């Protein structure tokens, strides 16, 4: 089932099924990381990250929770960035003698206020 809610598309055929979390309630995750509930009466309800995390912790087994929320190590992501920003980032990475990945990770961490939590 596919539904457009506040300009965002939710589709049970393309999202990953996470598990059954209630009577006639299925939890899905989109490739973007967004969670939503699908009810068998064809209703879709988007969930915040925190609500989805709590729901998985309460209703599903620890392995599913750990797979979704206790990630460690590194992950591969693909993003589109303006060419001028990429050029400047490459120059800065060379100037600092670090990898472009490290520069991007550091910038994201600083932006998210995580620079002291590394």
77 and 54 in one domain?
no
85 and 54 in one domain?
no
Give the structural domain span for 11.
2-69
Per-residue pLDDT in tens (0 to 9) along the chain, 118 residues:
999 999 999 999 999 999 999 989 999 999 889 999 999 888 999 999 999 999 999 999 998 998 898 877 777 788 899 999 999 999 999 999 999 999 999 999 999 998 754 4
Number of domains in the chain: 2
By the 10 Å C-beta count (0-12 exposed, 13-18 middle, 19+ buried), 28 is classed as: buried
64 and 8 in one domain?
yes
88 and 37 in one domain?
no
Distance CA 40, CA 49 (A): 22
94 and 53 in one domain?
no
34 and 6 in one domain?
yes
55 and 16 in one domain?
yes
- β-partners of residue 37 are 27, 45
Distance CA 3, CA 37 (A): 12
């Amino acid at each position: 089932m596919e539904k457009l809610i506040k300009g965002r598309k939710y589709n049970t055929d393309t999202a990953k099924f996470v598990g059954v979390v209630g009577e006639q309630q299925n939890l899905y995750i989109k490739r973007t990381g967004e969670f939503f509930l699908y009810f068998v009466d064809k209703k879709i309800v988007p969930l915040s990250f925190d609500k989805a995390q709590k729901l998985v912790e309460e209703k599903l087994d620890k392995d599913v929770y750990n797979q979704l929320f206790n990630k460690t190590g590194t992950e591969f992501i693909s993003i589109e960035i303006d060419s001028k920003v990429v050029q400047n980032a490459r120059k800065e990475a060379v100037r600092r003698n670090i990898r472009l990945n490290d520069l991007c990770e550091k910038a994201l961490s600083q932006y998210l206020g995580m620079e002291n939590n590394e």
